Amino acid sequence: MKNIAKNLVRFCTQKPKVVYIILVVLALLFTAQIPRIKIDTDPENMLDAEHPARLFHNVVKTRFAMHDSIVVGVVDTSTENGIFTPSSLTDIYDITQSILSIEGVISADLMSISTVDNISQSESGTIRFEWMMDKPPSTLDESATIRGHLARLPLLQDTLVSQNGKAAAIYVPIKDKNQSYKIAEQIRQNISKLNGNADWYITGLPVAEDQFGVEMFIQMGISAPLAGLTIFILLFFFFRNIPLIIAPMIVAMATVMITMGALIGMGYTVHIMSSMIAIFLMPIAVVDSVHILSEFSDRHKPGAELNETIEEVVGHLFTPMLYTSITSSVGFYSLMLTPIPPVQIFGGFVGTGILLAFLITITFMPSYLSRMNNASLEKLQLVMHSQKGGSRIAKIAKFLGGFALKFKTSLVLSFAVVFAISVWGITQIEINDNPVRWFKKDHEIRVADKVLNENFAGTYDAYVVLSSSNSLLSLDDLLAKDKPTSLASWAAEQVTQLSGQPLSEQYQQLLINIDDKLFSDVSDIQASYLNTTLQNAESALSQSKAFQSPELLAYVESLQDYLKASGLVGKSNSLADVAKVVNRELRSGEQKDYVLPNSPQAVAQTLLQYQSSHRPNDLWHFVTPDYQETLIWLQMTSGDNQDMSSVIALVDEFISQQPLPQNIQLRWAGKAYLNVVWQDNMVAGMLESLIGAFVIVFIMMVLLFRSVVFGVLAMLPLTITITFIYGLIGIIGKDYDMPIAVLSALTLGLSVDFAIHFLERAREVFKQTNDIKQTFDLMFDEPATAITRNALVIAFGFTPLLFAPLVPYITVGIFLASIMAISALVTLLILPAVMTMGKRIVFK
Residues that bind another protein (CB under 8 A): 62-63, 65, 101, 107-108, 117, 122-123, 125-131, 134-135, 501-502, 505, 508-509, 511-512, 515, 518-519, 538-539, 541-542, 545, 548, 583, 586-587, 597, 599-606, 608-609, 611-617, 619-620, 624-626
Q: From the CB of 468, what's the least distance to another protein, in Å? A: 16
For residue 612, how many other CB atoms are within 10 A of its CB? 12
**Of 376 and 535, CB closest to another protein:** 535
**Of 469 and 531, CB closest to another protein:** 531
Q: From the CB of 503, what's the least distance to another protein, in Å? A: 12
Q: Cα(696)–Cα(66) distance, rounded to whole angstroms?
A: 46
CB neighbours of 118 closer than 8 A, spacing ≥ 6?
Answer: 128, 129, 130, 131, 132, 149, 153
CA torsion, ordered 827, 828, 831, 832, to nearest 10 deg: 180
Q: From the CB of 59, what's the least distance to another protein, in Å? A: 11
**Of 163 and 532, CB closest to another protein:** 532
Angle at 91 between CA 89 and CA 95, to 5 degrees: 120
Instruction: Name the residue among 186, 178, 187, 168 with its Cα closest to residue 205.
Output: 178
**Of 128 and 767, CB closest to another protein:** 128
Among left, alpha and beta (phi > 0; psi -120 to 50; other), residue 334 is alpha
What is Dmax (Cα atoms) for the chain? 118
Q: From the CB of 626, what's the least distance to another protein, in Å? A: 8
Task: At 463, give phi and psi (nearest 5°).
Answer: -120, 130
Q: Cα(282)–Cα(402) distance, rounded to whole angstroms?
A: 33
**Of 102 and 187, CB closest to another protein:** 102
Q: Cα(795)–Cα(162) distance, rounded to whole angstroms?
A: 48
Residue 611 CB-half CA count within 13 A:
14
CB neighbours of 481 closer than 8 A, spacing ≥ 6?
Answer: 532, 533, 536
31: Cα separation from own chain's centroid: 27
**Of 374 and 501, CB closest to another protein:** 501
Q: From the CB of 439, what's the least distance to another protein, in Å? A: 34
Instruction: Name the residue among 377, 365, 373, 296 with its Cα closest to residue 8.
Output: 365
CB neighbours of 636 closer than 8 A, spacing ≥ 6?
Answer: 458, 460, 461, 462, 568, 569, 570, 643, 644, 647, 672
Q: From the CB of 509, what's the least distance to another protein, in Å? A: 8
Q: From the CB of 679, what's the least distance to another protein, in Å? A: 31
**Of 126 and 139, CB closest to another protein:** 126
DSSP string covering 414-449: HHHHHHHHHHHHHHTPPB---GGGGB-TTSHHHHHH
Angle at 252 between CA 246 and CA 257, to 5 degrees: 125
CB neighbours of 600 closer than 8 A, spacing ≥ 6?
Answer: 542, 545, 548, 549, 550
Q: From the CB of 696, what's the least distance to another protein, in Å? A: 49
Q: Cα(458)–Cα(453) distance, rounded to whole angstroms?
A: 5
**Of 489 and 520, CB closest to another protein:** 520
3-state SS, one letter per residue, for 231-293: HHHHHHHHHCCHHHHHHHHHHHHHHHHHHHHHHHHCCCCECCCHHHHHHHHHHHHHHHHHHHH
Q: From the CB of 57, what's the least distance to another protein, in Å? A: 16
Q: From the CB of 527, what's the least distance to another protein, in Å? A: 11
Q: Cα(624)–Cα(24) distance, rounded to whole angstroms?
A: 60
The secondary element (H helix, E strand) that includes residue 170 is: strand 167-173
548: Cα separation from own chain's centroid: 39
**Of 134 and 771, CB closest to another protein:** 134
Q: From the CB of 532, what's the least distance to another protein, in Å? A: 15
Residue 692 CB-half CA count within 13 A:
18
**Of 505 and 561, CB closest to another protein:** 505
**Of 176 and 505, CB closest to another protein:** 505
Q: Cα(196)–Cα(76) distance, rounded to whole angstroms?
A: 9
Q: From the CB of 514, what's the least distance to another protein, in Å? A: 11
Cβ atoms of 670 and 57 closer than 8 Å:
yes
Under DSSP, the state recorded for 97 is H
**Of 610 and 705, CB closest to another protein:** 610
Cβ atoms of 667 and 64 closer than 8 Å:
no
Q: From the CB of 629, what's the least distance to another protein, in Å? A: 12
Cβ atoms of 814 and 802 closer than 8 Å:
yes
**Of 115 and 751, CB closest to another protein:** 115
Q: Cα(434)–Cα(212) distance, rounded to whole angstroms?
A: 14
**Of 416 and 608, CB closest to another protein:** 608
Under DSSP, the state recorded for 152 is T
CB neighbours of 181 closer than 8 A, spacing ≥ 6?
Answer: 207, 210, 211, 213, 214
Q: From the CB of 349, what's the least distance to another protein, in Å? A: 39
Cβ atoms of 828 and 756 closer than 8 Å:
no
**Of 163 and 542, CB closest to another protein:** 542
Q: From the CB of 739, what's the least distance to another protein, in Å? A: 39
Q: From the CB of 52, what's the least distance to another protein, in Å? A: 21
Q: Cα(493)–Cα(802) distance, rounded to whole angstroms?
A: 71
Q: Cα(168)–Cα(159) distance, rounded to whole angstroms?
A: 8
Q: From the CB of 124, what's the least distance to another protein, in Å? A: 10
**Of 124 and 192, CB closest to another protein:** 124
**Of 172 and 816, CB closest to another protein:** 172
Q: From the CB of 487, what's the least distance to another protein, in Å? A: 18
**Of 450 and 614, CB closest to another protein:** 614
